[in-house]
Structure 1
Amino acid sequence: MGTPFPPGLQIQTVDTGDTVLLHLRGELDIATAPRLEPVLIPLTAQTCELDLGHVTFIDSTGINLLTRHHRQAAAAGGRLRLIAATRAVRRVLEITGTTYLLDDPGPPPPDTLGH
């Protein structure tokens, strides 16, 4: 019996012209975050919405990627917003103090950016 492969991450992109919507399905973690980063980089100066409504797990690598892209997008005149998240993802956002990424409640408090 072999070691099972970790669940992957599926990314579906929908460009509506004004906004790029990314539907993610699977796990966003140390093994899969490298697949999302090259998708996000060219969207830095655009409005990007992430649907994490089918993401079953997120770890610190996933949170770090999202917060880093959120900051870079804001600096470049773009925007990153999470429009949906599973209960498991919402819980991690709450624990890590990164709920500001969800539902666009405004800018994060200064201390969440490492200041």
Structure 2
Amino acid sequence: MFASTRCTAPEDGRAPARAGTKAEVEPDPSGSTEDEADHVTAGVVVTDRDGLPWIATVFRQTGSRYAGLGSVLLRRVLAGAAARGLAEIALAVSDANPARGLYEKLGFQLTRTSLTVLVP
């Protein structure tokens, strides 16, 4: 089962961007971190889905050295969204994904669930 979650940007007195406009996701809030050898160690890719900013993927290298990088990048994305006046940003996550707790801690809330069948 997958859960669609949505995080409402903090109230800061700014009006949200008009729904459905490209201005909602520009400048691109996606981001990544690199190590001393310029290898990507973590990243967040943000796109547009049905007129709303959508976190398409969040990833990081395994290992304790990289713990917390996904959280740092997500906080930057959310801060950037709020600074641009966006009212919300969404993502999808499976029920069993351990990152779901982090998403909820950052303010994401369950908005709907769906079941998917893989057709052989």
Larger Rg, first or second structure (1 or 2): 2
User: Same fold per TM (> 0.5)?
Assistant: no
Q: Which has the higher strand share?
A: 2
User: What interval of TM-score do these two structures reach, taking the shorter chain for normalisation?
Assistant: 0.3 to 0.5
Higher relative contact order (CA 8 A, sep 6+): 2
TM-score (norm 2): 0.37
Q: Name the structure with the higher helix share.
A: 1
Q: TM-score, normalised by structure 1?
A: 0.38
